Amino acid sequence: MSALPRISVTSGEPAGIGPELLAALADAALPAQLVLLGDRALLRERAACSGSQAEWPDYQRDTTAAVSLLHVPLAQPAVAGQLNTANAQYVLDMLDIATDGCMTGEFAAVVTAPLHKGVINDGVASQSGKFFYGHTEYLAERTHTQRVVMMLTGANLRVALATTHLPLKDVAAAITEDSLTETLEILHSDLKHKFGLANPRILVAGLNPHAGESGHLGREEIDVIIPTLDKLRAQGMTLIGPLPADTLFNPAQLERGDAVLAMYHDQGLPVLKFASFGAGINVTLGLPIIRTSVDHGTALDLAGTGRADAGSLIAATELAINLANAAHG
């Protein structure tokens, strides 16, 4: 294999902007071998929307091409902006191929363009009986990983989540001493070993307003979060908190840490996405493979217009390259 890392990139929901983002990514001249996954006719059509007439050679295991295409056929022709449940399995097929290739060492990392959870649940999960929660949870199951951590980066911020795609009413029950311990251990380990931080400093948000205000606004901090942090501090982790989430994201606080652990999805990610939307990166920690992704959705209204911004996908690929090089350095 070439000294350059071989990075697989899935094109995601075929009715969304993913296919045309891959065309822009292919033109970015990154220091890697990029393997684009998707239907050849679809990627050609969407590349043309942006004025590109690019053609990529078929992917072969011994390829030295800077960009190649691993053709995965659509079930039905895709129309920009129009979801079609018939193509739900196509999206999962690409993800399976890329993930399995990472597990065998064929690929050094997988970068994922956005998919549409509703289409997959209507088109595949409704038949299998298994609800599709998202990339993060699917990759954990595919790689037989018991727990993973979702972290987004951008604008010099790193924000990880103690819980991911859960209804708000279920969040408090999901935050237990065991789950929080595992999450912090994964976050600490990957910040140290994948991101090169010798002694990661983690800012931990409280669950309740004002971090519970001494129990007057909820006891989760007293009963679960503080005892867990104290236990892990005794093991050598640098953990700051629990901190009130409404004042955590200010420059003075953020300078004290290398990453933030938010208790739930919409506690931490709105701040990061406000600061870095269009250039943010989603990283799945705890996996036996490297996986990064964009920080946005399928943008059906932009699909096929040629106006989609590939900044987040390019940033996600650059980080995947850096992590792959570090892993093999």
Q: For the segment 253-289, what is each residue's pLDDT rounded down to a tens digit?
A: 999 999 999 999 999 999 998 988 778 899 999 999 9
Query: Domain 146-286 classified CATH 3.40.718.10?
Result: yes
- 157 three-state secondary structure: strand
Mean pLDDT of the chain: 93
Say yes or no: do domains 1-145+288-329 and 146-286 share a fold: yes
Given this model, what pLDDT does residue 329 score? 66
Listed by start position, the domains of the chain span 1-145+288-329, 146-286
pLDDT bracket for residue 101 (50, 70, 90): very high
For residue 117, what pLDDT is reported? 93
**With 70 as the cut, is the pLDDT of residue 29 above it?**
yes
Percent of the chain beyond pLDDT 90? 83
Do 281 and 156 touch, CB atoms closer than 8 A? no
Element housing 205 (H / E): strand 201-205
Pairing of the two strands 281-285 and 291-294: antiparallel
pLDDT digits (tens, 9 = 90+) for 186-227: 999 999 999 999 999 999 999 999 999 999 999 999 999 999
CATH architecture of the domain with range 1-145+288-329: 3-Layer(aba) Sandwich (3.40)
Q: How far is CA 224 from CA 13, 160, 174, 179, 281, in A?
A: 39, 18, 11, 10, 30
Percent above pLDDT 70 for the chain? 99
pLDDT-based confidence at residue 1 (cuts at 50, 70, 90): very low
* Per-residue confidence band for 130, with pLDDT thresholds at 50, 70 and 90: confident
